């Protein structure tokens, strides 16, 4: 059902573009056959036709982008939630089949709640990552890409019409696009080997609509002084634009690779504050250029409150937050437990997490930088006196390694795991199976039981949502 609906949506978009093309061609044909028109009228009408066709083409491209980025945008929001309910049921049915392959029952393995709606459905993203590429006419565009480079169908389209993208983000993208088109002598870097410098723009914003802009460029053979001089000119141009007063922070990163960490290529502050601050409930969190933070702030509050209710730590519980990011989830339960310990790969995110703990006057939280697979075992050994350990697992789409699951199962004091998954039917499903399957020779410890699954819609108009799974034993 879910897949068929998406096929219908895409066919509708294609049909709509086909009708536009046929109508446009028909108008041009009729006007060409009217020989009685004067030369002046023909020129005027041709100009009007050209503008109308250009506008139709532009609208068609923006619809194509919307279909790719927000595939449910044509559907009323309450119907989107029904689609996600069905999708989440299919995911739970798939998990049930893996854990009970011989069962003929149609029942799923746990209680599945209806998808909790996002508190906000329009312009909810607090972060956008824009590409910088040429369009089919050779003009620089700061937007999002559709198509495939390998098939020579890749196109960059401006994103101001997307329902999930805030207009203040699109404004900065448009101003940078104007600068690249009319002021800069640099070329766009579409292929590292072919030269060019402009690569991408990331915009982050907060509840005050303050914005942080991070411009990514390829250094090529320019000196640090030449790069900084061009970035200063860009900065002055952006600040002189209408939205410049909302840009409280401007960075650039000279990255010669597909993606660079701050350790590989530092973020250089060009203007303003080094951080922005976001608020969730009574808590305030510091955001750095590469910090992980949920892109839907109001939805994040709903997500974290859902996790806290499922975790329900006791006063003597120690909460371990794996893949903790800037510490948001752990810090929001710290006042209800003995203490919180977070592990995160990004060093800058850990610095933010430590700052956020102090900033919110939370003194029973510690955060460590490193791979979960390496730090989790020695951490559990240090917690040998803790009477109860509750664990939050919030990894990327790939889930966590098998060794982490083995450690969770082998430690008898870990009685409760809350797993947050943004792609539950992907590799993370192997984690769910390993947590729950019956003891084997390799893993003979007591299994967890999946008690409840709660979907939280963090991404309206898309086919994604977060799934909160509560495992107990």
Distance CA 160, CA 130 (A): 11
> What phi and psi values does residue 211 have, to the nearest 5 degrees?
-125, 145
> Which of 365, 379, 371, 370 is CA-nearest to residue 331?
365
Using DSSP's 3-state secondary structure scheme, residue 415 falls into: strand
Q: What DSSP letter does each residue of 193-251 carry, written as one string?
A: GG---EEEEEEEE-TT--EEEEEEE--TT--HHHHHHHHHHHHHHHHHSTTGGGEEEEE
Distance CA 429, CA 6 (A): 23
Distance CA 88, CA 84 (A): 6
Name the region of 184 (left: φ>0; alpha: ψ -120 to 50; beta: rest). beta
HEC per residue, 87-104: HHHHHHHHHHHHHCCCCC
> 68: Cβ–Cβ under 8 A, 6 or more apart, which residues?
146
> 271: Cβ–Cβ under 8 A, 6 or more apart, which residues?
235, 239, 247, 249, 250
> 98: Cβ–Cβ under 8 A, 6 or more apart, which residues?
429, 433
User: Binding site annotation covers 148?
Assistant: no
To the nearest 10°, report the CA torsion of 117, 119, 122, 127.
-100
Catalytic residues: 422
User: Binding site annotation covers 80?
Assistant: no
**Contact between residue 435 and residue 420 where contact means Cβ atoms under 8 Å apart:** no
User: Binding site annotation covers 423?
Assistant: no
According to DSSP, the β-strands at 247-254 and 388-393 are unpaired
According to DSSP, the β-strands at 317-322 and 268-272 are unpaired
Annotated binding site for S-adenosyl-L-methionine: 294, 344, 394
Binding site: which residues?
A: 294, 344, 394
């Amino acid at each position: 059902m879910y897949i068929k609906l998406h096929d219908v949506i895409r066919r509708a978009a294609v049909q709509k573009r086909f009708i536009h093309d046929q109508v446009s061609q028909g108008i041009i044909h009729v006007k060409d056959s009217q020989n009685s028109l004067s030369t002046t009228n023909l020129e005027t009408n041709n100009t009007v036709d050209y503008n109308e066709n250009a506008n139709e083409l532009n609208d068609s491209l923006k619809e194509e982008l919307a279909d790719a980025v927000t595939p449910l945008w044509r559907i009323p929001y309450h119907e989107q939630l029904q689609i996600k309910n069905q999708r989440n049921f299919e995911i739970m049915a798939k998990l049930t089949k893996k854990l009970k392959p011989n069962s003929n029952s149609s029942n799923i393995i746990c209680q599945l709640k209806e998808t909790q709606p996002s508190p906000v459905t329009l312009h909810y993203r607090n972060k956008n990552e824009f590409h910088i590429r040429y369009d089919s006419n050779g003009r620089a565009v700061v937007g999002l890409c559709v198509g495939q480079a390998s098939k020579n169908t890749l196109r960059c389209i401006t994103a101001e019409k997307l329902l999930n993208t805030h207009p203040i983000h699109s404004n900065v993208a448009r101003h940078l696009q104007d600068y690249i088109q009319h002021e800069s002598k640099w070329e766009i870097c579409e292929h590292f080997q072919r030269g060019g410098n402009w690569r991408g723009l990331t915009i982050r914003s907060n509840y005050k609509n303050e914005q942080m802009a991070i411009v990514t460029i390829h250094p090529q053979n320019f000196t640090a002084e030449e790069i900084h001089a061009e970035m200063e000119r860009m900065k002055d141009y952006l600040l002189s634009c209408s939205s410049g007063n909302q840009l409280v922070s401007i960075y650039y990163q000279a990255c010669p690779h597909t993606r660079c960490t701050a350790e590989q290529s530092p973020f250089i502050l060009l203007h303003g504050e080094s951080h922005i601050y976001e608020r969730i409930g009574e808590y305030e969190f510091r955001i750095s250029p590469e910090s992980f933070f949920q892109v839907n702030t109001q939805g994040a509050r709903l997500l974290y409150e859902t996790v806290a209710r499922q975790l329900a730590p006791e006063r003597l519980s120690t909460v371990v937050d794996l893949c903790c990011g800037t510490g948001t989830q752990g810090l929001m339960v710290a006042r209800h437990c003995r203490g919180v310990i977070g592990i995160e790969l990004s060093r800058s995110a850990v610095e933010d997490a430590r700052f956020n703990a102090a900033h919110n006057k939370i003194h029973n939280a510690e955060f460590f930088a490193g791979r979960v697979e390496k730090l989790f075992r020695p951490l559990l050994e240090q917690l040998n006196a803790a009477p109860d350990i509750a664990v939050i697992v919030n990894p990327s789409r790939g889930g966590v390694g098998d060794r982490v699951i083995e450690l969770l199962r082998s430690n008898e004091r870990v009685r409760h795991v809350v797993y947050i998954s943004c792609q539950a039917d992907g590799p993370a499903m192997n984690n769910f199976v390993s947590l729950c399957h019956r003891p084997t020779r390799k893993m003979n410890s007591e299994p967890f039981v999946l008690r409840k699954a709660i979907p939280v819609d963090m991404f309206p108009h898309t086919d994604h949502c977060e799934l909160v799974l509560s495992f107990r034993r």
